[in-house]
Amino acid sequence: MGCLYSKNARNVPGYEEPTVLAAETPFTVDEVQALYELFKKISSSIIDDGLIHKEEFQLALFRNRNRRNLFADRINLQLVVSLLNLWHIIMQVFDLFDLKRNGVIEFGEFVRSLGVFHPNAPMADKIAFAFRLYDLRHTGYIEREELKEMVLALLHESDLVLSDDVVEMIVDKIPKVMEGLIKKSGRSLCRGIHPL
């Protein structure tokens, strides 16, 4: 990839040198260059401008998943709610990647945001990212309804269909897992989950 990579990439808005990104993230220079190839594919899937737009981000996440045609299926309320929850979560993830808050994801933002998923990324960064992802309403707490939205979205994405009672049971058990995080952090991360 070497010089050809660098010459062509410099014309991309928000381009940053792989060596700089490798120094600031857990990725190696080779991994950053591989991420650039992925970035190019995603950023040119709808609008070929070197930036990832919300629609391209959504397409990248769902290109080969859930090929159901909503109009061919019998639409029911639970499916619509699940899809809306899933869309809301996708937009939440997009916003987490859009570090400059300008409505698009530049290459540097893409690499820095993906860095949290690298095996060598600090655990504190992973926890902070997960917290921001689950805090859908940006209240500073993970509320019961936010947990339920995430569970429904994950079930939909996995093509799992569970009764409302089972979903409620899953959501009710999550606070036990959260108690471990609360004890480690020394402060409450959840509001509306534990009875007061």
Instruction: For residue 174, tell me if it sits in a domain.
Output: no
Total count of domains within the chain: 1
Written as one letter, the residue type at 171 is V
Asked, for residue 130, whether it belongs to a domain, the answer is: yes
The per-residue pLDDT for 111 is: 96
Residues 51-91: pLDDT tens digits? 999 999 988 887 544 444 334 344 455 556 666 767 778 88
Flag the least confident range among 15-19, 48-52, 117-121, 155-159: 155-159
Residue 162 maps to a domain: no
Residue 171 included in any domain: no
- Chain centroid offset of residue 115 CA: 12
Q: Please tell me the predicted confidence (pLDDT) of residue 13.
A: 76
CATH code, domain with 46: 1.10.238.10
Nearest to 108 by CA among 18, 28, 196, 185: 18
Is 34 within a domain?
A: yes
Q: What is the pLDDT of residues 31-51, one digit of tens each?
A: 999 999 999 999 999 999 999
Residue 17 lies in a domain: yes
> What number of other Cβ atoms are within 10 A of residue 5's Cβ?
13
Judge contact between 146 and 171, C-beta under 8 A: no
Does 190 have pLDDT greater than 80? no
CA distance 88 to 98: 15
Does residue 95 sit within a domain?
A: yes
Could you tell me if 59 and 65 are in contact, meaning their C-beta atoms sit under 8 angstroms apart?
no
What distances in angstroms separate CA 30 from CA 15, 17, 116, 117, one per listed residue?
16, 12, 17, 17
Q: pLDDT value at position 134?
A: 85
Structural domain that includes position 54: 2-134
3-class DSSP state of 86: helix
The predicted model scores a pTM of 0.73
pLDDT tens-digit map of 126-184:
888 988 988 888 899 888 898 888 888 888 777 788 888 999 999 988 877 767 666 66
